[in-house]
Structure 1
Amino acid sequence: MSVEENKVIFHRVIDELWNQQKFEVCDELFAADHESPSAPGLPAGPEGVKAIASMFLAAFPDLKVDIEIEVADGDMVGGRLRQRGTHTGPMVSPTGTIPASGKPVNFTEVAMLKIADGKVVTSWYWTDMIGLLTQIGVISGPPSARG
């Protein structure tokens, strides 16, 4: 597939899965053996993607994702994402479930997808969890710099 075709897949993942919450698109866009090293322990393939997306969207049902920077080279495509939403549902984390705070969030994430034969085979995500957890009140922000 061309770089331009891979970009279309990246945009569809963001627009259709995350912004429109069309989980069925996972079956079309993700390979049966898809893996995400960023989320170990999830099932392989589209079912794992649906699981992580449904958990996150349950915590932030009004989540909107914008692509701020896009990069693509060969079979790799990704970029810097801006995510905005409201924490109105429980958020599952490695240390337990975080109850809804009702607080708005605005944080960034870097995503990189490897595409083969028109499907995402591997996905990596680096999320600003410190910023996100600070905004929902789980951790305190850094002390202000005072001289």
Structure 2
Amino acid sequence: MQSSAKTIEEYLSSIPEERKRSFLKLRETILNNIPKGFTEELSYGMLGYLVPHSIYPEGYHCNPKLPLPFINIASQKNFIALYHMGIYAKPELLEWFVTEYPKHSKQKLDMGKSCIRFKKMDDIPYDLIAALVQKMSVAEWINCYETQFKKSK
């Protein structure tokens, strides 16, 4: 479910009231912990934390006009989703997260390849998300991305 919002403020105002406080706290957790160099923008109809073209001019291989995505958060129909490309690309980061999750949440981990779904707003492990966000710098993400996703030329 992608939003048609044109600005971050418009996106935030469209979040259902019962989810807004949790979503804003998740956003704040990311903004307070994400390494220098990533920027917050609307991306794929969600809030995105990206490597801007000023740092990585090649952009995203799927569409080089877009900056390189790293993390997205979205208010979906029945949950809040956090998409973390580093978890998808780096098995040891995924392993760390899966191991740590039960130490921070009573809920069973609901996760896809890069998507972590939070259905219970009162049980989002903000401290674990803060640690996850800090685990990869812009340079580390670019290196991981080029190793894992870019096709050889």
The structure carrying a bigger helix percent of its residues is 2
The structure carrying a bigger strand percent of its residues is 1
Indicate the structure (1 or 2) with the bigger Cα radius of gyration.
1
Q: With structure 2 as the length reference, what TM-score do the two structures score?
A: 0.34
Q: With structure 1 as the length reference, what TM-score do the two structures score?
A: 0.34
